[in-house]
Structure 1
């Protein structure tokens, strides 16, 4: 699977986990050079607290387009150490 934004492959892996229709990539599949920190957080009743990051590619930023669960609940343990994408990021095979 590949995550593409702004014409750039920002993550690529054959090891994704699908939860609620979202592909969760291993965190190491997303180079840190494409990330800016964000203070955004949300709560999921069964996964726990999600944190967000902004994608930054070729001088353009896409706020809160990456999310992850640093300490997911036991029910969502399979997504620990993984990131997912939204907000216009294409995820394709």
Structure 2
């Protein structure tokens, strides 16, 4: 079963472009991991949110990729550049 995620990030306006760069860094990292089928970064048309998406071959490859992401350090953590908590959803193909 394919596993995916969608995450909504809410950077402050002054950190929006920097945050987009951070999400691309994470997406590139995830794409280098075994079992990652895709990882992408999007932005809402109003500039209010950065949306990241990804697909993995299995639950195991999904978990392994995110466990490895800790090596990216603070790039993957919530911090003061976001004005509200992220919304992250894990998805299963049907």
Q: TM-score range by the shorter chain?
A: under 0.3
Max Rg structure: 2
Q: Which has the higher contact order (CA 8 A, sep 6+)?
A: 2
TM-score norm. by structure 2 comes to: 0.27
TM-score norm. by structure 1 comes to: 0.27
* Greater strand proportion: 1
* Greater helix proportion: 2
